Amino acid sequence: SQQGEEDPQALSIQEGENATMNCSYKTSINNLQWYRQNSGRGLVHLILIRSNEREKHSGRLRVTLDTSKKSSSLLITASRAADTASYFCATGNQFYFGTGTSLTVIP
């Protein structure tokens, strides 16, 4: 399976702290994408990192990719209550999603 798997399954932090979640996958990829899902806005694309990139930033988001370890991490800095959501990585040619990391940011 090319499925990405997120870790941890659940994460609870205080507002203002940083949140880090990881994604591991099994096969070679063209790119890896991170998505956020909450009840209010559905599933939203956050960031795409290509296989020849090692790090990418977008606002408070920082994504790293280590193709040798087949892993990626998503860092959210200075978290806000609005960041409370499930975060998924998607990999492979056919968009295999993992089971997600449920992030709770406590105000």
In the complex, the residues that contact another protein under the rule CB under 8 A are 30-31, 33, 42-45, 48, 88, 93-100
- Least separation, in Å, of the C-beta of 46 and another protein? 10
Residues 31 and 77: their CA atoms lie apart, in Å, by 23
- Least separation, in Å, of the C-beta of 95 and another protein? 5
Nearer to another protein, 48 or 75 (CB): 48
Nearer to another protein, 12 or 93 (CB): 93
- At 82, give phi and psi (nearest 5°): -70, -15
Residues whose CB is less than 8 angstroms from the CB of residue 104 and which lie 6 or more positions away in sequence, other chains included: 10, 11, 12, 13, 84
